[in-house]
Each structure stands twice: as C-alpha cells, then as structure tokens.
Amino acid sequence: YLRHHPEGECLDFDQFLELVRKGRRARDYYRLMRHISTCLECRRAYLQLRAIEQAQQVGWLARLRQRLAIPHAVWVPAAGAVAVALALVWWLFQPSKQQMAQQPSTATPYADQAMMHPPELKLPTAEPKLAPERPREPRPPVEPSGVPQSPIQRELASLKRVEPFLREAARAFATLPSIPQVRGGQTPSKPPMEWLQPDIERNAAIPDTQPTFEWRPVPNAVGYRLQIRPTESDQQSLSVELNAAQTRFTLPAEQALQPGVEYEIALAALLEGDKRLIVHRKFYVLSKEQLGAFRWAREHAEKTPLLSAMVFYYQLDRYTDALACLEYARQKYPQEKRIAQWLEAIQARIVQRQTEFTAR
C-alpha cells in the first residue's frame, strides 16, 4: 500500500540538503525518512545528493595542506624531520636504567656477606584473626539489556517472522490516535433499520466478497429494495426487489464485490401508501494484502492480543475485532495502563461509526 501511496508529501531541495548535511539533527528527520523509504523518486534524489556531498568532502590533512599552500616536495621531508626530532627528545628524557646497571658496585664486604647470608625471619605461628564475615544480601535479578520490557515488545520478540504491518501496529500502540469523541450529554442517533450481518454499523470494512446481507424486519413493511454501488466508479449498481418476508440476501458469484473497493448500500423499506424508508451506509472490502493481515490477526488473537488489536483497528477498520482482542490483553497484561485508554478510544469510535448513516 505504501509503495503506491507514500506517506506524506514529497520533499523539496532544501529538505534533502538538510537531511544530507545534518542527518538525525535535521528537522522532522523521522517523518521525512519514512516518506523517503516509501517514495521511489524521493529515495533516488536523496541517494544522489548524498553521493555528491560525499564526493565533495576532502580529508582534514589535505585541506590543511591546501590552505598552507605547502608543496608535496617540501611537506614530506619536513614531516620526516619533525618525526626524527620527536624521537630524539623521547630518547633523551628516558630514565637511565641501563647505565645504573653497568656501574661498579660500591657496597662494603659486610654488605656483600649480609646479602649472601640474610638473617632468618621468624613467622608467627598463630593464625591471624579475620573479621566476621557479613551476610551477603541477595541482589535483585537483573534482566539482560536485550530483553524487551513492554508487553507489545514481548509479543514482537515471541514471533519467528515479523511482517512490516506488525511493526507499524506496534508503533501505533505507543501513541493514541486522535479519535473524535461523541459529545457528552447527547444520545447518538440510531438508524431506523438495523443491520444484523455483516456488521457494517460498527465496522467500516468486511472481508467477504460475497457477503450475506441480513437486517431486522421493519413493522408494516410490504417489501424491501436493496441497492449496492461503488462510491467512486461508474459501474452499474446492483438492485433487487424483495417481499416483506425476505430480510436476507446473499450476493451471487457473478455480482461479487471487488477487493479494496468502497461501496454504498441503500436499504429501502416499502410501506403502505407508496411511502419509503431508506437508509444509506458506506463500507469497503478488504484488499488481498489486508485480507492476509486479517487472517493473521484472527489466528494470533489470543497469543498476541495487543498486536492483533492494533492490526484490526489501525489497518483494517475492524473495531469489534479490536475490542475483543483488547479484552484478551486486559486479562493477560493487567499492569498495562494503555489498554484501558485504547478500550475507551475504540468504544468511542464504534459509537461514532453507528451514527455514520443517512436516512430519509
């Protein structure tokens, strides 16, 4: 997805130049590098400018020689003379141990005899008393520096293969997203017709291309009309007429939905007297890449509940699945405070999603 839709806007020349010269000290370094890592043109421009900058750099010794304008024929003998002078000074200030060893001995004969026959030393027979040993206090166990501390890092370390979408999900857990909250004191409006499956009232995406649409019967309805059309395409919409007893419809194979496409569904309840009650909702079908992440999160929901919850919420817009994974995580990591914050955020997002409909 990032290969076709890079993160952020492309960089200008000044931003490239600041990144090349300052590196991590450049402004917005991490944000700009994330864009460069996903944008082919910006990455190519960045690498070319860095190669040009490195080619223009000259060693400090060559710069000094250029500034002093010392020719090579003079600089090399001068450097050799300085090295010889330093070696001579070092030799002169060395202690004369060898000269002291070559000097004749001036000791007296008595001193020689004392050195040849030294007096015997009497050693104490009693064992020395040692101070009483203090009991050693047990040290607290020290975890190795490589062991991750947070639950989300432990879940990453427990996996044999870490996909790119999992690293993105782990980074998303560190910071709560800005989710519009429902105003306090107001009851969110509910649609006049309730969907039973798929749960598009609380989730913005579905995994199936041939879903079964089912809704709660509307009192006094004499029939229903179901219409599905892509929101950004000129494709012909699907329209079916159903009687009052038919509150369930499965898409046929020849009219299956396309992965990665957003749709708008309109359900009309036909009432007596040519009256209609119509409810519109939007949803999209998971792409092939998203479907792989969806299956991974479903499979690892209990083993790595935090990563699965972030994949469901942050990348797939499956809010009910993310809520279920966070309930597993709250039991598994009772000390993690971010879980309660995420639960509140996702519950607020579900309430907001339920109000995203139009009726007439």
Query: Tens of pLDDT along the chain (360 residues)?
Result: 666 667 778 888 888 888 888 888 888 888 888 888 888 888 888 888 888 887 776 555 566 666 666 565 555 677 777 788 888 777 777 665 444 444 444 444 444 454 445 455 454 555 545 555 555 544 444 444 555 568 888 888 888 888 888 888 888 887 765 555 555 445 667 888 899 999 999 999 999 999 999 999 998 899 999 999 999 877 768 899 999 999 999 999 888 999 999 999 999 999 988 888 899 999 999 999 999 999 999 999 999 999 999 999 988 999 999 999 999 999 999 988 889 988 998 999 899 898 888 887
Rounded-to-integer distance, Cα 121 and Cα 130, Å: 23
Asked whether 168 and 37 are in contact (CB, 8 A), the reply is no
Rounded-to-integer distance, Cα 34 and Cα 165, Å: 14
pTM of the model: 0.57
Q: How many CB atoms lie within 10 A of CB 32?
A: 20
Rounded-to-integer distance, Cα 140 and Cα 218, Å: 66
